Amino acid sequence: MAKEVSPGVKALRKVVEDVYADARKAHAEGKLVGWSSSKFPCELAEAFDLNVMYPENQAAGIAANRDGEIMCKAAEDLGFDNDICGYARISLAYAAGKRASRKFDPETLEFIIDPSTGKPLKDENGNVVIDPETGKPKKDPKTMQPYTVLDDIYEIEALPETTEKEIAYKNFRREAIKPYRQMRMPQPDFVLCCNNICNCMTKWYENIARMRNIPLIMIDIPYNNTVDVHDTNVAYGRAQFDAAIHQLEQITGKKFDEKKFEHACENANRTAKAWLRVCDYLQYKPAPYSGFDLFNHMADVVTARGKVEAAEAFELLEQDLAEAVKNGTSTTPFPEKFRVMFEGIPCWPKLPNLFKPLKANGVNVTAVVYAPAFGFVYNNMDEMARAYYKAPNSVCIEQGVDWREGICRDNKVDGVLVHYNRSCKPWSGYMAEMQRRFTKDLGVPCAGFDGDQADPRNFNEAQYMTRVQGLVEAMEANMANKEAEGK
């Protein structure tokens, strides 16, 4: 039976679907579509009614759809090193026109099915049907998929279309591109980059701009060596906002609309506040949902935080969660035995593998660092500049530790699971020191594992399982020790 989806989750899914659909429509109508880094001040683009897409979310979606590897390899073939962030590689390959597509026979225009795909066929009683010839379970043909191949939209567009056969082939090749929204995102007409989220962004977006010969609006946010953001930094950020507005006026041919901007800020603040309240529900013991669910809602807070629909959807989710707490229900499909903070971005291509030992051991993720990272609230343009200075990889270790230890305490965690993400050196680099501080300050065990947010080649399930089991055993021992000490 399909899992029941709450009204809030449904609304949040629709918000993201609509953002993509609106962008596709705008592109088809010849209107401008931009690509933006996740923590670029979206309020500015909203003031110009621009359709903006977010390559980080897109890459996460492509990776979760198991096409991360083919896209990463495509970027490597273009000359990008495999040490570069997996999101960047996927995005750069996409910007170059590369697409994960479905293999088909050019003569018959029929898809060629990969026999290794598909779920077992079940009879009317739900039993698996065994093939008498092979003795193995039969596959459900409806769930079998064609082979995945790499294609290129610019190669497709250059194909001739003089004969009917050529036209049919060209159309079929276009349609063979995988149909999920992240693989059908429009190409950019301009790019908006704010490097607060990660310094790799700078070169990533410069490359896209050069590749597509389109304008780049860059907002540079220096790394914060102190917890407080200095006024000079705020002035630097604010001046860049003003310059970005001027550039957007040139790109769109429109004047900056103060009213629309203020409205977008109101929405962004409302979304951020609702998002923070949703995050706070993880403090309940047992929690009514999992931090992994928050990862799924990241798309909304990134792609649509300046839209009223996102604020409303998060407020709806908040109501669902209040109801869940009242009824003592949870979306976590197992009893919560341990509570951990999951540090870092998940390995999207390996989500089921990531979840398996957590479920088996009753480990619920009740803390993730995204809550404060995207829940920023401000009252004017200067405060907005100050808010955009703080992102997970732009703050000093003291601020980073403070954020995390605050959530760990509030959300009552028993341990920390750290993803040493091969794609994200800035994030993973200071985790060894953070782990040391978590154990010292919070008295909880930490386990680290190697993986990648988008490239499945960097994750080893056997190693991960041992580390999770070790963490569980250490949490058990730690709890027993505390109990013995009468804490």
Binding site for other proteins (CB under 8 A): 420, 432, 435-436, 439, 445-448, 450, 458, 460, 462-463, 466-467, 469-470, 473-474, 477-478, 480-481, 484
Q: To the nearest whole angstrom, how small is the minimum distance from the Cβ of residue 193 to other proteins?
A: 31
Of 204 and 459, CB closest to other proteins: 459
- Spatial strand order in the sheet of 216-219: 51-53, 33-36, 190-194, 216-219
Contact (CB, 8 A) for 190 and 218: no
Q: To the nearest whole angstrom, how small is the minimum distance from the Cβ of residue 433 to other proteins?
A: 8
Euclidean distance between CA atoms 274 and 281, whole angstroms:
11
Q: To the nearest whole angstrom, how small is the minimum distance from the Cβ of residue 486 to other proteins?
A: 14
Q: To the nearest whole angstrom, how small is the minimum distance from the Cβ of residue 17 to other proteins?
A: 37
Of 6 and 478, CB closest to other proteins: 478
Of 144 and 479, CB closest to other proteins: 479
Of 385 and 431, CB closest to other proteins: 431
Pairing type for strands 33-36 and 190-194 reads parallel
Of 16 and 471, CB closest to other proteins: 471
Give the tokens for residue 65: 């759809």
Euclidean distance between CA atoms 324 and 319, whole angstroms:
9
Q: To the nearest whole angstrom, how small is the minimum distance from the Cβ of residue 358 to other proteins?
A: 15
Q: To the nearest whole angstrom, how small is the minimum distance from the Cβ of residue 97 to other proteins?
A: 33
Q: To the nearest whole angstrom, how small is the minimum distance from the Cβ of residue 46 to other proteins?
A: 42
Of 1 and 484, CB closest to other proteins: 484
Q: To the nearest whole angstrom, how small is the minimum distance from the Cβ of residue 477 to other proteins?
A: 4
Of 375 and 445, CB closest to other proteins: 445
Of 181 and 467, CB closest to other proteins: 467
What angle, rounded to 10 degrees, do the helices at 351-360 and 461-484 form?
Answer: 30
Of 141 and 486, CB closest to other proteins: 486
Q: To the nearest whole angstrom, how small is the minimum distance from the Cβ of residue 456 to other proteins?
A: 13
CA nearest 204: which of 391, 304, 19, 54? Answer: 54
Q: To the nearest whole angstrom, how small is the minimum distance from the Cβ of residue 432 to other proteins?
A: 5
Q: To the nearest whole angstrom, how small is the minimum distance from the Cβ of residue 339 to other proteins?
A: 17
Of 312 and 452, CB closest to other proteins: 452
Q: To the nearest whole angstrom, how small is the minimum distance from the Cβ of residue 475 to other proteins?
A: 9
Of 406 and 470, CB closest to other proteins: 470
Of 255 and 482, CB closest to other proteins: 482
- Spatial strand order in the sheet of 446-451: 363-368, 338-343, 415-421, 446-451
Contact (CB, 8 A) for 226 and 396: yes
CA nearest 452: which of 359, 363, 344? Answer: 344
